Structure 1
Amino acid sequence: MSAPRVGVVGLGAIGSMTLWQLARRGIPAVGFEQHWSPNDRSAHAGESRLFRSLPYLEKAPGDRAILRAARGLWQQLEQESGHHVYFQNGGLVIGREDNPGLRNVAALAAGRDGTEANILDAHALRGRFPQFRISDGEMAVLDVHGGLLKPEWAVAAAVRTAVAHGAQVRTASRVRGWREANGQILVETGQESVAVDKLIVCPGPYAGELLPDLPLKARRLLLAWFAPDDASRVPAFQAEAFPSFVRESELGFTYGGPSFDNTFIKLGGDFDWGRAEEPSCMDRNITAEDLAGVRAVAAQELVGIDSSPVRAEMYMDAWSDDGTALLGALDADATQILAAGFTGYGFKISPVIGSILADLAGRGETDFDIGYMSPARFRREPAAEELLPERA
């Protein structure tokens, strides 16, 4: 492949998928990763990520179209790479019967599946999935296309497939910044300057360090693994019997699923573990207070799980101030393109975001509606007094 035309900063979930999509289209590309790829220093670590094919947290029509396209691209990555990264063992969405978002998911599931067999009231849910502690008035929708993704393998598969198509990869190469020069963009690392025609920035939780003027913050994200309280219960929590789940309850928004070794289950939730003020040196220590939320999930929402975790890890993710990702051009000429701040929902749609970014870099537009994610919504307009000429 000739000199790179498109640079990709960050080879985590979205950056790796972008590099793959660029390379498979024959667009010369080079990826920069400050660590290694995959790694445990970003938002894609943790051995598994949930996959849903039905929109629940996705509110905008554009989000829903992106989600609909995700499953096909995960399957495409598997076919091209030879890596099995998508495990379809079903996914439950659990909440109160009067939750309008859940009722909407139920209607979508019935329309797609042609049956209401996967819409479960409290009685049916207890009978079909006794691993969950269910209160009267709760219900669930079983997303038959839901399941689990292997994030580290997915990132590795995308990068390897991109390289096989001719992409260049520079690991241990931290981007310090970039500047325009002679009609190109010079990407500056600690070791070299690389000229590209367009630059796609996928910084993950490091967005605030590279782009401090944008409202993007890194948050600490704890994941914990738990074991059944008796060996006889292990089969009930293996992937064949125990689907991944998201749930809204008195504890807030929680989630979990089986581990790929069929030994433990992984739990998490939308609890406040604080910001990672300096992502490059984030505090990874875990306190008893940090564990309180996920321990409550094990004790109060599941049956037969020991509430003492066998393992816990602190990761981080990037969040935007308004809860919506930033996706689109950073400059008037659209030579610098940003994808960041997916606020906890980016991994399952990352191959679609990679495809959109390849569209923008390759042909300057995409068929997906992404206007509501434009970084321009945070662009500060100068105040009137700033527009006045200086007085003599």
Structure 2
Amino acid sequence: MSRPGSDLRHVVVGCGGLGSAAAYWLSRAMGGRVLALEQHALGGSAHDARPVHLLQHHDADAALAPAAYATWRDVERVSGLPLLTETGGLVIADDAARRRIGRLAAVADRHDVDFELLDPRALRRRWPQFRVTGTEDALHQRRSGIVDAARAGATHLALARGHGAEIREHSPVRALRATPSHVEVVLDDEVIRAERVVVAADVGTTEVLDGLGGLSLTVAREQVTSYATPHLLDFSSARFPVFTWHGADDVSGIGVHGEVATTLGQHGAGDGPLRRRREEFLAEHVPGFAGPEIATRSRLSAVPSDGHHVIGAVPGEPRVAVGVGARPEATFTSLIGRILAELATTGSSRHPIGAFALDRPALAAPSRWRSHA
């Protein structure tokens, strides 16, 4: 086990989606000189299907999306495990939100991503599972799909161990302290000396970075409900696309994949009112999607005020790289981990990440970076 004074070079803080990916990509480059620390237990996560999208709403994300898909395929190649299932994806907007379709199509055109625009009649003909009123617009992109986030995280960690990385659970990081020769990673009963640190602690990021300044993030909540639909064939991944519906409430849905259930996600707090709105939405627009409720869980995630990822080195402390994924989807999980590994090993990335830097105005707080969560 690595102790103060050892030649341990790189520490990853957090073994969630981004952290597990960073641990793998770092260990692939550096072998056993990688230690990944997770404050909770590992290995107990349930199935957690997340959408992936080649077509993105913002140019900065769209520029990274092809590399994100290629990165998932690389992890599948070296692990032998299927991780990304392409189902196609729909974005549907009612009359009040139809401008979103136009903006999305404009980004697709700028980045040469193929798509189809569908009127309500075409949407009903292709996917009779949906009920539309006749005022909606829709956009279909054939390469959207699903990644099981829990399976992907376990795969990244297994591959990291195969390259010699040490993975420790029940090891919360309390602080980082910069010294002239190294970065101290402070645990409850140990101080680890590291040459480089990757922070991928999601909602714990601001606390971990507090000794180096801070970070201005909010905490977003998504309510995710799984349903035991009786219509398995209609909502199988071969027949039903992942979808986002923009209207009075923005909701996102995934058909039957892994777990024998459909899944609907909705941002917000207050489970009772949100549950009623989800039920009303499904009854009106996707009735066969519903069934007995299996479970509802909350996903918490750290989000900057501009809604973009955080990828880069701490200003004034290049030995500490930070990654925060600003989407509940899984499109960029492995790629961001790969970029963090690049930053930790070479100090730069071959990918365009300038828009995600830590010194941009959206992350600034008065006098210091500081969490608003």
Measured at CA, do residues 39 and 102 of structure 1 come closer, stay the same or move farther in structure 2, by a change above 3 Å? farther
What pairs up with 1:53-72 in 2 under 5 angstroms?
53-56=54-57, 59=58, 61-72=59-70
Letter of the 1:140 partner, please give it.
Answer: A
Aligned partners of 1:180, 1:198: CA distance in 2, in Å?
Answer: 10
User: Over aligned residues, Cα RMSD in angstroms?
Assistant: 2.7
Aligned-pair distance for 1:236?
0.9
What pairs up with 1:334-353 in 2 under 5 angstroms?
334-340=318-324, 342-345=325-328, 347-353=330-336
Name the SS of the counterpart of 1:376 in structure 2: coil
Gaps of 5+ in 1: 275-286, 384-392
1:238 to 224, 231, 236: 236
Aligned partners of 2:191, 2:53: CA distance in 1, in Å?
Answer: 41
Identity of aligned residues (%): 26
2:28 to 19, 24, 47: 24
Gaps of 5+ in 2: 369-373
Larger CA deviation: 368-377 vs 195-204:
368-377
1:33 to 28, 33, 38: 38
- Count the aligned residue pairs: 355
Aligned partners of 2:207, 2:47: CA distance in 1, in Å?
Answer: 23
What pairs up with 1:114-153 in 2 under 5 angstroms?
118-153=116-151
Aligned partners of 2:257, 2:234: CA distance in 1, in Å?
Answer: 14
Partner of 1:219: 220
Letter of the 1:128 partner, please give it.
Answer: R
1:330 to 291, 295, 314: 314
Per-residue CA distance 1:105-130 (angstroms, 9 max, x = gap): 446389544xx7x4322101001101
Aligned partners of 2:135, 2:273: CA distance in 1, in Å?
Answer: 30
Aligned partners of 1:307, 1:296: CA distance in 2, in Å?
Answer: 13
Per-residue CA distance 1:310-331 (angstroms, 9 max, x = gap): 3212231112223223221114
Aligned partners of 2:12, 2:26: CA distance in 1, in Å?
Answer: 10
Aligned partners of 2:60, 2:26: CA distance in 1, in Å?
Answer: 22
Name the SS of the counterpart of 2:174 in structure 1: strand
What pairs up with 1:101-112 in 2 under 5 angstroms?
101-106=100-105, 108=108, 112=113
Contact 1:134/1:301 (CA < 8 Å) preserved in 2? yes
Aligned partners of 2:182, 2:16: CA distance in 1, in Å?
Answer: 25
Partner of 1:289: 273
Aligned partners of 1:170, 1:373: CA distance in 2, in Å?
Answer: 29
Structure 2 length normalisation: TM-score?
Answer: 0.86
Are residues 1:259 and 2:256 paired?
A: yes
Measured at CA, do residues 260 and 345 of structure 1 come closer, stay the same or move farther in structure 2, by a change above 3 Å? closer
Aligned partners of 2:272, 2:367: CA distance in 1, in Å?
Answer: 46
Measured at CA, do residues 379 and 183 of structure 1 come closer, stay the same or move farther in structure 2, by a change above 3 Å? farther
Structure 1 length normalisation: TM-score?
Answer: 0.82
Measured at CA, do residues 39 and 330 of structure 1 come closer, stay the same or move farther in structure 2, by a change above 3 Å? farther
Measured at CA, do residues 381 and 306 of structure 1 come closer, stay the same or move farther in structure 2, by a change above 3 Å? closer
Aligned-pair distance for 1:197?
0.4
Letter of the 2:30 partner, please give it.
Answer: G
